[in-house]
Amino acid sequence: MFLINGQWQTSLNAQDRAIQFGDGCFTTARIIGGKVRFVDDHLRRLAEACKALWIAGVDWQGLADEIDNIAASQGQGVLKVIISRGNGGRGYSPSHTGLPSRLLSVSPMPEHYARWRSQGISLAASPVSLGKNPLLAGIKHLNRLEQVLIRRHLEQTGADEALVVDSDGSLVECCTANLFWRKGQRVFTPFVDQSGVNGTMRQRIIACLEHSPWSCQQVREPLSTLAQADEVIICNALMPIIPVNQAQAWHYSERSLYQFLAPFCE
């Protein structure tokens, strides 16, 4: 069941532009103890995405109330919020579109994240590269076919997550997570201004590192830069932070950055 524009339903109008064109955005958040963790970060992300996509007329107060009510009724789980431009006609033009649609749903928290946090994970390079598009880079829009293909290839390997580069061969992210690595006292994360997603947890970690023993720098580096890393971590709003044991043929055993960040991310 989905809460669609304030009503619990199982279907969406076939003319909705989310179906026709992937015309919208979304965010995924943790529900803990009846509250959405870092809810303001998620609402800010949706607002920034709607601004970038020129989606106007969202009932933000209604959405905030729906989020609070669903979280309180569920207690624990994963909340997904989708904003679509709304119902429209056959063509690309949004000029005759109605009001935006709000879709909210809840699912169980993935059980494997707890195991990943305690045991660490492995990463494998994906053969699928991300196209560069600065107009859409950073936001979590509804066009995720690249991630679908990345995930499909990942399932053919024994790795837990994918290492994804752009069309120029620069590291960007994982399939469903952002990427950080440490060399001594310096922490690095890929730019996401040409492709990729600027995740809420990525933003939180960058802010946290401003007041830490480590410096943090956004870079454009090839996948091979991870051969010199002392430590690698990945993150998203649900994980929220996971240590990496292996990326390709490179192994990591240090956990100092992970241990520092974990309390701020939980």
What pLDDT shows up at residue 95? 87
Of 82-86, 96-100, 130-134, 247-251, the one with minimum mean pLDDT is 96-100
Which positions are catalytic?
A: 28, 140, 173
Strands 241-247 and 121-125 turn out to be parallel
What pLDDT shows up at residue 96? 85
Quick count: other Cβ atoms within 10 Å of Cβ 213? Answer: 9
* All structural domains of the chain: 2-109 (3.30.470.10), 113-265 (3.20.10.10)
Residue 90 has pLDDT above 90, yes or no: no
Do residues 175 and 126 make contact, with C-beta atoms less than 8 angstroms apart?
yes
Quick count: other Cβ atoms within 10 Å of Cβ 15? Answer: 14
Prediction pTM value: 0.96
pLDDT tens profile 92-131: 999 888 899 999 999 999 999 999 999 999 999 999 999 9
As a whole-number percent, the residues of the chain with pLDDT over 90 amount to 95
Mean predicted confidence (pLDDT) in 224-233? 98
